[in-house]
Amino acid sequence: MSMMIAKSAAAELVYMSVESWEYGCCGEVPAEGGLLRAGVTALPDEAGGQLPAPPILDWDRDLELVRFTNFSARWDPKYGDPRRLPIRLGVSWHNQGSVVPAIVADVVTVYQESVLYQLSGRVLIPMRDTMEYTRMAAVERFPDSTTLAQVQTVGAPVRNVCGALMGVRLRSRQEPSAEVLIEYRDRLERGSRSVDLIGPAAMFGPVVPGRGDRLSVDLSDSRLRMLDKRTDLSGVVHGQAGQVSIVNNPGQEWFDLGDIAPGEPTDTINAPLYVRLTIDPSRRPELPGN
């Protein structure tokens, strides 16, 4: 659970960015006089914005937070020490999650953000120190998004809208507890040991496994397909089954998964099975021939 923190009486504006796809998808369009409810994340300021985050008062490595005068923000440790980097604040109402501090704030000022993009292969790269802000009462929900075609036609960097910058006054905030972060890290660790497998039904035992059943699977078997590979393990591994489904369209590029009853003999099933397997953390793989 999150820990509620008392409302702030601070009057200074804090500037936070939101990407254009956020309000293009759903939620309130950033507008003066609006109310913002979102999660706050601190990020390296790679575009060279003119309104960076306020000075950091504290970096809590254990909770993965940076704290400011009257609020805090999520900081991914992969970026290193936030005190050594120019940083900006981003908000989201899609990707809040339990470990992202939440705020309620009044929107006082709104600026449309735009940057110059250059094309690298098929990827658009924002150019550093090209951010511009245009004061608006409210930004457009669907700003122009023809940058890729423009860059290909013009052959030079092209300016395009990337989001909105809001000057806000905070009403209240929530900060995740240590218990919430522990649960989050446990989920990440478990996810790092989970693999999505597709293979002949008989590879997963004499009967269709159910959620929570113990399995032994040979990851080196050429008949087995591993989706979004997240492990270098090979050979026989042991673990626990999660989702188990039948593949209704074998051989196609996309997967149509259907329900299948646990306990059904696998030698009677002609279609492959999809199995999410969480590999035991303490077991070493048994290599073929050992």
Instruction: Give tens-digit pLDDT for 16-54.
Output: 999 999 999 888 899 999 999 999 999 998 766 667 789
Q: Give me the chain's average pLDDT, please.
A: 84
Look at phi and psi of residue 259 and say left if phi exceeds 0, alpha if psi is from -120 to 50, else beta.
Answer: beta
Tokens 């970026």 sit on residue: 79
147-165 confidence digits (pLDDT tens): 556 666 666 788 888 899 9
pTM: 0.64
User: What tokens were used for 140?
Assistant: 């457009």
Taking the C-alpha atoms of residue 285 and residue 290, their distance in angstroms, rounded to an integer, is: 10
Q: Which amino acid type is present at position 188?
A: L
Q: Nearest to residue 75, comparing CAs of 91, 96, 60, 55?
A: 60
Burial 26-57 (b: 16+ CB within 10 A, else e): ebbbbbeebebebbbbbbebebebebebbebe
User: What tokens were used for 191?
Assistant: 């996810």
Q: What is the largest CA-CA distance in the chain?
A: 70
Lowest mean pLDDT among 79-83, 155-159, 206-210, 218-222: 155-159
DSSP state of 266: G
